[in-house]
Structure 1
Amino acid sequence: MSGKEIMETRSGISRRGIYVTLTIVAALIAVFGYLSFEWLFCRFYVPPGYMAVVTAKSGREPRAGSILVEEGEKGIRREVLAEGRHFLNPIQYDVEIVPAVSIPLGKVGIVTAKVGRELPPGEIIAPDRESKGVWRDVLGPGLYRLNPEGYQIEIADAVNIPVGYVGVVTSQTGSEPAPGNFAGPGEKGVLKDILQPGLYYLNRYAYQVNVIEIGMNQVTMSAGSNESVVAARTRLNSANDALGALEAQTLNFQNEQRLKTLKRAVKKTSAASRKQAADNITQEAEIFGVSRAVEFPSRDGFKVTLDMTVEFELMPGNVAKIYLLYGDLPQVVEKIILPQVLSVSRMKGSSYRAQDFIMGEGRETFQHDLRQELEKTLAGKNIIVHNAIIRNVEIPLNILSPIRAVSLAKEQNLTNVSMQETAKKLAELNIETQLIDQRRREVEQETKKLVAQTGAERDQAVAELKAETELAVADIRLKRSEIIARTARLKGETEVKTKFLVKNEEAQGELLKAKALGGPGKLGDLKLVESLNPKVETRIIYAGPGTLWTDLKNGALPLPASRPE
């Protein structure tokens, strides 16, 4: 390859390198510019508890009448953006940051969809979440992000059933069930299952909850106007002090419904009845009150008027059926209990004479028969009767006066007899009191005698015990002295015997030692030697045959000649 070709090759390579370098630089500038544009102009932040509603300025045209659009379409997007950092081109999108829906504890969120399929005419509850209308299911406590352009959320109170009550649920949408039957799935009417005490998140547009008292209730009929009015119970309002705000809200709503019913009933009554009913509504009587006493003719043709209180109970398992057939508790009282009480009272009362209602036994018998008949009659309607109490019996004065006079005469006679019996008992009591006093004095004397006798016996026993104790002590001391004497004697004898044995053994030892040395004489010599002063020195000097001289330094002692063996 020539030099020219080499130069051209190098020049081409250099140009390509420049082009690549310029391309990379341009790409980096473009990327940096894009990222800077995104970061500076497209970035936005959704704080906690908020959401972003996005509107696309460009895209496909949505269907006619659409409020919310999907991604790629022009308009307000269905999906909202949650909290956090997001990037959208402000040229293509508008962003509106709005608060998310927060549902507190004890509340529910009722959602009304503005988008979706149209509902049939007259329907408001959406069958699913793809249709317009009110969603059947509610939103519980929490934070929710639904596009406010397409969904409206109404925050309402949850239903709190207090203790002592149950809730009867009525479905407000659907097809009509067979008459007298509970509503099934998809049907409109009273549901079989009741709500026990507790907190429930229900849609008030889909379900209505009526709070019904369970346990003991009362209805009282007393003299007044000829119209029948049932007063509201205080227990609904008085519960506000003891229950929370949700319970109070539920009970107050139920109370308002009952008061509306009462006011509608009052408008149909006379002026006197309206006044009496207004007083009952204002005062909110503690029991159901009926402004009419029970009236019926007696067996002997006289008019008998009496006040009556009936105690009854609705069992939780029967409340739904009772509500389905008769309605709320005041309606049950007015439609079922009152007519039965009046009917049974007239039927049973017409078999008694007027004076039987004044005498205690006849009145008690009538009350017993009335209660049994009411129990039997209302049991078939799932209402338990516990008692029927008769008060304030009134009969015509022309029959009441002679009966009262006869009763007074009988009572006076009984009073006189009782006074005689009382005087007799008083005399007997005085005699018994004197006898008791006499007996008390006798008991006191006997007690003193027993105390003195017991004291003497005690002193004698103490003296005898003391003498026996001293004798026992002397005997113990004598025995102790004898023991000490025996101990000393035994001790002396023991010491003598010990010394004798020791000396005897020493003598035996000396005897054995003498025998060992060859005789007592040698033992004596040994003893003499042992008794010498250790400083004495002995020197033996040989002076010739037949002669032995001993030189004693400190003295001379004759030494006996040894005898031949």
Structure 2
Amino acid sequence: MSQAEEKVVPVQSPVKPAVMAVAVLGFIALAVYLVYLWGFCRFYVPAGHMAVVTAKSGKAPAPGTILVERGEKGIWREVLPEGRHFLDPVQYDVKIVPAVSIPLGKVGIVTAKVGKELAPGEIIAPDRESKGVWRDVLGPGVYRLNPEGYSVEVADAINIPAGYAGVVTSQSGRPAAPGEFARPGERGVLSDILQPGLYYLNRYAYQVNVIEIGMNQVTMAAGSNESMVSTRSRLSNATDALAELESNTLNFQKKLRRERAERMNAAPAVTVSDGNRKSAVGAFPLPKAAAPLPAEAQIFGISRAVEFPSRDGFKVALDMTVEFELMPENLAKIYLLYGDLPQVVEKIILPQVLSVSRLKGSSYRAQDFIMGEGRETFQYDLSQVLGETLAGRSIIVHNAIIRNVDIPINILSPIRAVSLAKEQNLTNESLQGTAKKLAELNIETELIEQRRREVVQETEKLVARIAAERDQAVAQLKAETELTVAELKLKKSELLAKIAQLKGETEVKTRYLVDNETARGELLKAEALGGAAKLSELKLVDSLNPEVETRIIYAGPGTLWTDLKAGALPLSAAPEK
């Protein structure tokens, strides 16, 4: 190695250990942060709950602010849903509360504590950015509204039963014009009614009056504490939940009617009949649970009969029942003009009944109300005039029925005596007629018995004649049958004789033909052999010995024996034809 060469010694850099130290410290810090985050910042919101977060630090909100946004100090407007979340407990407080759950058949009425201020006297918020009660309600479901800024009241939905309709009154906005339906944004009665069914409405924004439709009755009876308006029976509901809602809706309507009656310094106008028990409407406060509703009539009323002077100056008092009907299409207009059903009865129907009854009744005599024809005529005239009068008020009258008539005793006694005398006379005439009819009946009974005996005799005679004719017919049929059998036997004998004759003749002819043909065959055989002698000789040879073989060979003329020695018989040649 030369002197010019220098020895290189590696020098360790001080930067690398510092980087490693920083990395280790960073890893330790990250591990500590993760342990702190997982062990101290982690919280879990279970299902059906929500977390309300309060920030302990951040930008100061505007004065009077209840709920703040993220980054501001105070209660967050936003709530955290169920699940796992991470927030530093040093900077945030977390309160876990149940979420708002609205069950089926209920509504949630939301009151906002935050937002723009309302106009003086208003409680319904025009939108969801203002304070006050939201017009729209929350339907069945689960909702997460911050309880620090919103309160939710769970109330019953409105279920209109069958046989009823709901008239809706808006309770917010500027007043509607007198006698006119409320338009959007106005306060008053709405033109659209609610048909039977379930409705989710805000009872602070809308009042629903459930009114009976269909056939109703108003009864005025003397000596009674009350007259009645009978509504048709309510149909039972198969669903317990809907039955409870119907019950609550109807009981709330009764509560409104009771309060209205109390405000008018009148007795409660409604009682409910349930079998043998009757109770006033005041016994039906708005229930928390369903109360059993009777299916019988509801009762409204006054406690006086229809009184008027008759044409002849006597005072007449009538108990009367008027059947009327409110049609659904006219219900909102009737409620707007007159009020609920008790007010309709009190303001419209009863005054018209009294007025028309006095007007028409004063043209009849007192005795006309006792006799059936006069009462029926008055009842018909009353129904017609009352129907025409109330038709202009959109109320349909079907019938006016007189149930009882009370007239002075000084006129009732003579009329009753005359009526009894007439009835007694009619009874005597009826008895005489009955005796006459009885005598006629006895005569007819004897005639019937005589006729019965005649019929019996005629029947026996007819039976004997039919039996004789039957026996004669049977004997004649038997003789004819025997004759027919004899004729058939004769014809059978004749047929058998003919068969025997034909059989004998056939056998003779057959034998003759066979013998004739046999003879002809022998003749032909003899001719073939040269004569009868040859044939005889042949038969002789055949009869000698069956084992002897006979051969006939034609060899010209010769003797039998010579021919036998030769083994053949001489046969003459057949003549040529």
Using the size of structure 2 for normalisation, the TM-score is 0.77
SS of equivalent residue, structure 1 residue 170 = strand
How is 1:48-87 mapped onto 2 (pairs within 5 angstroms)? 48-87=47-86
**Alignment of 1:422 onto 2:434:** yes
Q: Which range is displaced more, 45-54 or 150-159?
A: 45-54
Instruction: Name the counterpart of 2:375.
Output: 363
Report what 1:154 is aligned to.
Answer: 153
CA distance in 1: counterparts of 2:490 and 2:99, whole angstroms: 112
Assess if the C-alpha contact under 8 Å between 1:230 and 1:330 holds in 2: no
**Cα separation, partners in 2 of 1:113 and 1:163, compared to 1, 3 Å:** same
| CA gap 1:477/1:312 in 2 versus in 1, 3 angstroms | farther
Change (3 A) 1:129 1:482: farther
Is 1:329 aligned to residue 338 of structure 2?
no
**Conserved? CA contact 1:220–1:287, under 8 Å:** no
CA contact (8 A) 1:161 1:167 kept: yes
Partner of 1:190, secondary structure, is strand
Task: Give the letter aligned to residue 430 of structure 1.
Answer: N
Find 2:569's aligned residue among 553, 560, 565: 560
Equivalent-residue separation in structure 1 for 2:390 and 2:373 (angstroms): 26
The equivalent of 1:164 in structure 2 is 163
SS of 1:290 mapped into structure 2: coil
Matched ranges for 1:48-127 at <5 A = 48-127=47-126
Between the aligned partners of 1:169 and 1:119, the Cα distance in structure 2 is 24
- Residue 296 of structure 1 corresponds to 308
Matched-pair contact (CA < 8 Å) for 1:51–1:82: yes
Distance 1:176 1:401 in 2: 62
Q: How does 1:388-399 map to 2 (within 5 A)?
A: 388-399=400-411
Q: How far off its partner does 1:336 sit?
A: 0.5
Instruction: Specify whether residues 230 and 185 from structure 1 end up closer, same or farther in structure 2 by C-alpha distance, changes over 3 A only.
Output: farther
Q: Secondary structure at the match of 2:65?
A: coil
Structure 1 residues 145 and 489: alpha-carbon distance in aligned structure 2, compared to 1, 3 A threshold: farther
Matches within 5 A, 1:408-447: 408-447=420-459
3-state SS, counterpart of residue 244 of structure 1: helix
Q: Distance in 2 between matches of 1:21 and 1:473?
A: 147
Instruction: Identify the residue that residue 545 of structure 1 maps to in structure 2.
Output: none
1:143-542 aligned at under 5 Å gives the runs 143-224=142-223, 244-263=243-262, 267=266, 287-454=299-466
SS at match of 2:138: coil
- The answer to whether the Cα contact below 8 Å between 2:106 and 2:155 also exists between their aligned partners in 1 is yes
- Tell me if the contact between 2:106 and 2:139 (Cα under 8 Å) persists in the aligned partners: yes
CA offset digits 1:305-336 (Å, max 9, x no partner):
11111111111111111111111111111111
Distance 1:63 1:428, change over 3 A: same
* Contact preservation (8 Å) 2:218, 2:230: no
CA-CA distance at 1:74 after TM superposition: 1.5
Whole-angstrom distance in 2 between the partners of 1:450 and 1:3: 174
Greater helix proportion: 1
Give 1:434 shift.
2.7
Change in CA separation of 1:374 and 1:504 when aligned onto 2, cut-off 3 Å: farther
1:86 maps to amino acid: H
Q: Cα deviations across residues 22-72 of structure 1 (Å, max 9, x unaligned)? A: 665555544444333332222222221111112222221122111111122
**Who is 1:547 aligned against?**
none
Residue 208 of structure 1 aligns to a residue whose secondary structure is strand
Distance of aligned partners of 1:101 and 1:491 in 2 relative to their CA distance in 1, 3 Å threshold:
farther
CA contact (8 A) 2:61 2:68 kept: yes
Task: Report deviation, 1:76.
Answer: 1.4
1:470-524, Cα deviation, whole Å (9 max, x unpaired): 88888889999999999999999999999999999999999999999999999x9
Q: Could you say if the C-alpha distance between residues 35 and 302 of structure 1 is closer, same or farther in structure 2, counting changes exceeding 3 Å?
A: same
Instruction: Choose 457-466 or 111-120, whichever is displaced more.
Output: 457-466
Aligned residue identity for 1:439: R
Give the conservation status (yes or no) of the 8 Å contact 1:182–1:191.
yes
2:233–2:297 contact (8 Å) kept in structure 1: no
**Unpaired runs of 5+ in structure 2?**
269-277, 284-295, 551-564
Aligned-partner Cα distance in 1 for 2:280–2:440:
57
Give the drift of 1:166. 1.0
Identity %: 70
Shift of 1:559: 3.7
Equivalenced residue count is 540
CA contact (8 A) 2:46 2:83 kept: yes
1: distance between equivalents of 2:186 and 2:75?
Answer: 37
Aligned amino acid, residue 569 of structure 2: P
Structure 1, 334-343 or 209-218: larger mean CA deviation: 209-218
CA–CA distance in structure 1, aligned partners of residues 107 and 347 of structure 2: 36
Please state how far the C-alpha of 1:295 moved relative to its aligned partner: 0.8
CA displacement at 1:139 relative to structure 2: 1.1
**Alpha-carbon deviations, 1:442-471, whole Å to 9, x = none?**
334444444555555566666777777788
Residue 383 of structure 1 aligns with an amino acid whose one-letter code is I
| 1:167-201 CA distance string (max 9 Å, x none) | 11111111111111111111111111111111111
Q: Distance in 1 between matches of 2:458 and 2:155?
A: 88
Amino acid at match of 1:306: L
Q: C-alpha separation between the residues in 2 aligned to 1:60 and 1:335?
A: 65
Going from structure 1 to structure 2, the CA distance change for 1:563 and 1:292 (only over 3 Å counts) comes to: same
Query: Is the deviation greater in 255-264 or in 386-395?
Result: 255-264
Q: Which residue of 1 aligns with 2:559?
A: none
Tell me how far 1:245 sits from its aligned partner: 1.0
Structure 2 CA distance for aligned equivalents of residues 26 and 130 of structure 1: 50
Alpha carbons 2:42, 2:84 under 8 Å: kept: yes
Letter in 2 for 1:313: E
- State the Cα RMSD in Å: 4.8
Contact 1:169 1:209 in 2 (8 A): yes
**Do the aligned residues in 2 keep the contact of 1:220 with 1:310 (CA within 8 Å)?**
yes
**Quick one: distance in 2 between partners of 1:232 and 1:344?**
19
C-alpha deviation, 1:124, in angstroms = 1.0
Correspondence for 1:544? none
* Structure 1 stretch displaced more, 321-330 or 41-50: 41-50
Change over 3 Å in CA distance of 1:50–1:444 after alignment to 2: farther
The separation in 2 between residues aligned to 1:294 and 1:333, in whole angstroms, is 15
Q: Aligned partners of 2:501, 2:31: CA distance in 1, in Å?
A: 132
Kindly provide the amino acid, as one letter, of the partner of residue 560 in structure 1.
L
Distance 2:481 2:443 in 1: 55
Code of the aligned partner of 1:375:
G
Structure 1 window deviating more from structure 2 (295-304 vs 501-510): it is 501-510
Assess, with a 3 A threshold, how the Cα gap between structure 1 residues 410 and 504 changes in structure 2: closer, same or farther: same
Corresponding residue of 1:40: 39
Are 1:358 and 1:393, in contact at CA under 8 Å, matched by a contact in 2? Answer: yes
How far apart are the structure 2 equivalents of 1:368 and 1:128? 58
Q: Distance in 2 between matches of 1:23 and 1:474?
A: 151
Q: Distance in 2 between matches of 1:114 and 1:99?
A: 19
